[in-house]
Structure 1
């Protein structure tokens, strides 16, 4: 039997690549998506479509009530999403307090219940500048604690922790992945805005891979 793993899958291009990487490595993948009260659910709809097409187990869990406790982010509150590159100071408004610790804890509990022994998520080096819960020191500490938090040892796996989004896209294109099956923009309109930090980084990754982004943009 294949080894069971849980993949935290947002519907974005990073987690989409991680999801497919785990499948191609021969794991029995259980995808886990979260509605944590983000501005839109377009990513989650995309994630559901992808999992259906791949015929893999997928749960979308509504934890939006946590916003009673962890507000203040432009991704969850009525605060304008900043435009510009991820490394700009203004992008710190997109930090959702303690998000990845919460999501990883829930994913680890799910893994224990499935008798899986790994949880994958898509942190990468481009996130390090503004997201503390995507940095190597955070991942290392979470891995340490998740190995001892239950009778069963669960490993936290970040295949692209020290790679950029450019590298992730390079790997995905080598796998022949279709990135029209992803949504990256922080805004949930019909077309991607092309101006928020998520769009800017995505467009940069495609440009540096000499590839055409299959998504349509407003700008």
Structure 2
């Protein structure tokens, strides 16, 4: 049976690792990227470039309504990115993964794909409720009921911290590609990023931890 998958794709470390994972697992892979008023258009450019390099068909959907409904630090340049202990970071966009995966499901239905892949993680997720395993399982059931179909939502990073995501990319022979060509930085700097925003700090810490493990011979 021909297996076809849709990757929810931002051009960042996590979704690009998921892209390489999907290319190993499925016969056909397509990507969907959402324009929701991100702080930096560079994110969309990066997603396009990666898909073109990998030869993956790429869909872009307009979700700019999110910017209107849920103004936050990821969609407004005039809101400073902050994190307070015990509170959700102000980079949390309410309903984002709910909407993204729902629309990805509609797209999958149209192109004959039954597998959806997203790079959410409960191990390294800043407390975002829409990255949790329970939510993903619930949404999977809802999608199937809503369209009378049998979609499967795959979350290959769900139980991996950032160092383990780097390890997975290495296992997929994608380590250097992910390191050089992805954009994770909240300030729109590709690769190693600005080095200061929370996303860059998390990425760099994970990279250093993985490289230390590799150097110590702790990686199989």
Fold-level similarity (TM above 0.5): yes
Q: 8 Å contact 1:32–1:59 — kept in the other structure?
A: yes
Equivalent-residue separation in structure 1 for 2:125 and 2:185 (angstroms): 19
In structure 2, the residue matched to 1:13 is 13
Residues 1:131 and 2:128 are matched in the alignment: yes
In structure 1, the residue matched to 2:44 is 44
Secondary structure, in 3 states, of the residue corresponding to 1:92? coil
Q: How much has 1:142 moved relative to structure 2? A: 0.8
Q: 8 Å contact 1:124–1:165 — kept in the other structure?
A: no
Instruction: Give the unaligned 5+ runs of structure 2.
Output: 213-220
Deviations 1:175-203 (A, max 9, x none): 22112110110112577221111101100
In structure 2, the residue matched to 1:217 is none
The runs of at least 4 consecutive aligned structure 1 residues that moved more than 3 Å come to: 87-91, 126-129
Q: How much has 1:174 moved relative to structure 2? A: 2.1
Equivalent residue runs for 1:19-168 within 5 Å? 19-71=19-71, 73-77=72-76, 78-82=78-82, 88-89=85-86, 92-168=89-165
Q: How much has 1:59 moved relative to structure 2? A: 1.1
In structure 1, the residue matched to 2:217 is none
Secondary structure, in 3 states, of the residue corresponding to 1:60? strand
Q: How much has 1:89 moved relative to structure 2? A: 4.6
Deviations 1:37-59 (A, max 9, x none): 11012122111111111111101
Instruction: Give the unaligned 5+ runs of structure 1.
Output: 212-219
Q: How much has 1:64 moved relative to structure 2? A: 1.3
In structure 2, the residue matched to 1:208 is 209
Length-normalised TM-score, structure 2: 0.87
Q: 8 Å contact 2:123–2:158 — kept in the other structure?
A: no
Q: 8 Å contact 1:34–1:62 — kept in the other structure?
A: yes
Q: How much has 1:129 moved relative to structure 2? A: 4.0
- Cα RMSD, aligned residues only: 1.9
Secondary structure, in 3 states, of the residue corresponding to 2:185? coil
In structure 2, the residue matched to 1:194 is 195
Residues matched between the structures, number: 207
